[in-house]
Amino acid sequence: MAPPGKRRDPHTTSSFKVEIDNIEVATFRKVSGVKSETEVFEYQEGGNNETIYKLIGQTKYSNVILSIGFTADPSFFKWRDEVHTSGGSGKISRRNGSIVQLDRDGKTEISRWNFQKAWPVRWEMSDFDTSSGQATIETIELAVERIVKA
């Protein structure tokens, strides 16, 4: 338990922004997939039947999924189209960026996660349904090679 006056309450989710190549791209309503996982290899040594050793394997990072209310800015679609038109040649623009959690004022940075060598693997628009009265949502999924807590 923290001593009096040293309590650290968790931050509530307020808003996020995403920067790609140090350019603020957008404020998103949802960011998911910010996680890493390390494989575990189990090894049992001959003659030692009581212990299974757990060895460290490779670490992999999940795809980051960004959702935003649709805007007229075509930057994500153009980046995704660049991947599509490369024809699998591998000549795509991989970009570094950051997911920045903002305080309730929408300006003060609380936390930052930097991702490296990202490229868009999926772009999606929500259904166009005028009877729902809801905003159109644009979703972009980024394959990332690494995520670092800054």
Residue 21: CATH number of its domain: 2.30.110.20
- Domain assignment present for residue 141? The answer is yes
Q: What is the mean pLDDT of the segment spanning 27-56?
A: 88
- Judge contact between 141 and 121, C-beta under 8 A: yes
- Domain assignment present for residue 144? The answer is yes
- Domain assignment present for residue 67? The answer is yes
Among the residue ranges 8-17, 27-36, 100-109, the one predicted with the least confidence is 8-17
Query: Residue 124's domain spans which residues?
Result: 15-149
Return the amino acid letter for 55: L
Query: Rounded distance, CA 71 to CA 116, Å?
Result: 25
* pLDDT for 134: 73
CA distances from 34 to 1, 26, 62, 80, 130 (A): 28, 17, 7, 20, 32
- Domain assignment present for residue 90? The answer is yes
* pLDDT for 14: 64
* CA end-to-end span of the chain: 26
- Domain assignment present for residue 5? The answer is no
* Number of domains comprising the chain: 1
- Domain assignment present for residue 2? The answer is no
